[in-house]
Structure 1
Amino acid sequence: MKYSAIITDIEGTTSRISFVTEVLFPYAARELPGFIRANATEAAVAAELDACRSLMQQADATVDTIIAQLQQWIAEDQKITPLKTLQGMVWQYGYQSGAFKGHVYADVHSALTCWQQQGIKLYVYSSGSVQAQQLLFQYSDFGDLTPLFSDYFDTRIGAKRDISSYAAILQQLQLPPKQVLFLSDVAAELDAAKVLGIATIQIVRDGQAAGNHAIAHNFSDVGEQIT
């Protein structure tokens, strides 16, 4: 095995895009207002509401005003860090109550397990919050998969199409780029990683537009390419 670490995206890569768009997003949009109103004074929630006020440039925005902005961001699929964090808090209840399980493709479960057993360090980099990432894998179709991963990265380290984000990840991994493989279904994300010398493979499950990267249709294909 020529890689010491593999970083994977989630949506469209390890998991169905429709799980996010048809299950998680509607659940958050439906439950978020009540959750915020009930927990607005809790320290963790209050901190994210203040972050929203800062982004909105409305220091005195009311809770209802913030909720309206959050709903707009959800509708626009904005990658806003406080939104992602608040969504993660709401999804936690959904997972724990059994409202849904985190979708993970069977080929992903098999490959990740195999790679970890081979000594490869596994990481997640997604626009969803670290909490949301951990919940999806903790409450997955295959049980708790979180022990497979060494760490998680979200938009706090930077946007997924920014080269600087991958430089920051490399700094944390303390590995040369050629020893790191990044898997994503989005060519623009892979483009940013590739600039730094990180190896890339685009996961094309549902007819996504291919970029200038090696292509795999599932994680079994990835395994064949890297062994």
Structure 2
Amino acid sequence: MTTIVLDIEGTTSSTESVHVGLYAYARPRLGPYLEAHRDDPEVRAVLAEIGADGAAEAVKVLHGWMDGDVKATPLKTLQGRIWAEGFAAGELTAHFFADVPPALRAWHAAGHRLAVFSSGSVSSQRPWFGHAADGDLSVLVSGWFDTVNAGPKREPGSYERIAATLGDPSELLFLSDVPAELDAAAAAGWRTTGVRRPGEPNAAVPFGGHPIVTTFEEIHP
């Protein structure tokens, strides 16, 4: 049995659907969300981590991080909570490449485990997979990992920590469109496959010695 660990942006879903769709949804809602949840312990912790005295100052920092595509934990936390509310309200629907849902269902039915490792927070991963256009895919996933509970995606230690939860690294297969992430996983003893999606930012990058596919239909775990 193989455990297949999925990246999201550029792998299961288009980068644009995250950076344009979700980011545009979250951006104007950051300030109102901070104001409405100022007594929430997690929100207070986020403000403290940012080093901001109030919502207005925090929003300037958060918007700067968004503009620079900075993978900052406070930003990921808030975005995840805002997106979860948007999915629950029916205002957001997750995008998946057409080959992904049938492949995930087939792998799951064949007895393979599925997990996710994304720079987006676990709180955003779950509703993303739970609100696909053709049904709830979250029920297929048994492990959720982000840069908080696992670590940076380009460091082998993060994959070692995930393996401590999921099992033998040689039975773990990581799918990603980012060569540096695949390198880190391979250094931790994982199997890897590069996903080269036409039209995505990393469509033309070299993947070194990693196997490469253009659709999940080519993967036979």
Q: Does TM-score exceed 0.5, indicating one fold?
A: yes
Deviates more, 1:161-170 or 1:36-45: 36-45
**CA RMSD across the alignment:** 1.3
Is the 8 Å Cα contact of residues 104 and 142 (structure 1) preserved in structure 2?
no
Structure 2 residue 64 is the aligned partner of structure 1 residue 72? yes
Q: Who is 2:181 aligned against?
A: 189
Of 48, 61, 74, the match for 2:53 = 61
Q: Deviations over 1:4-62 (max 9, x none)?
A: 21101000101111101110011111211111112111223222222222xxxxxx633
Is the 8 Å Cα contact of residues 204 and 210 (structure 1) preserved in structure 2?
no
Any idea what SS the aligned residue of 1:123 has?
strand
Of 202, 205, 209, the match for 1:209 = 205
Aligned ranges 1:108-119 → 2 under 5 Å: 108-119=100-111
Distance in 2, Cα, partners of 1:172 & 1:50: 30
Is the 8 Å Cα contact of residues 204 and 215 (structure 1) preserved in structure 2?
yes
Distance in 2, Cα, partners of 1:91 & 1:98: 11
* Equivalent residues, number: 215
Q: Aligned-pair distance for 1:219?
A: 0.6
Of 126, 130, 133, the match for 1:138 = 130
Structure 2 residue 11 is the aligned partner of structure 1 residue 13? yes
Aligned ranges 1:115-194 → 2 under 5 Å: 115-156=107-148, 157-173=150-166, 175-194=167-186
Runs of 4+ in structure 1 over 6 Å off: none
Consecutive unaligned residues of structure 1, counting only runs of 5 or more, are: 54-59
Q: Who is 1:56 aligned against?
A: none
Distance in 2, Cα, partners of 1:45 & 1:61: 12
Any idea what SS the aligned residue of 1:150 has?
strand
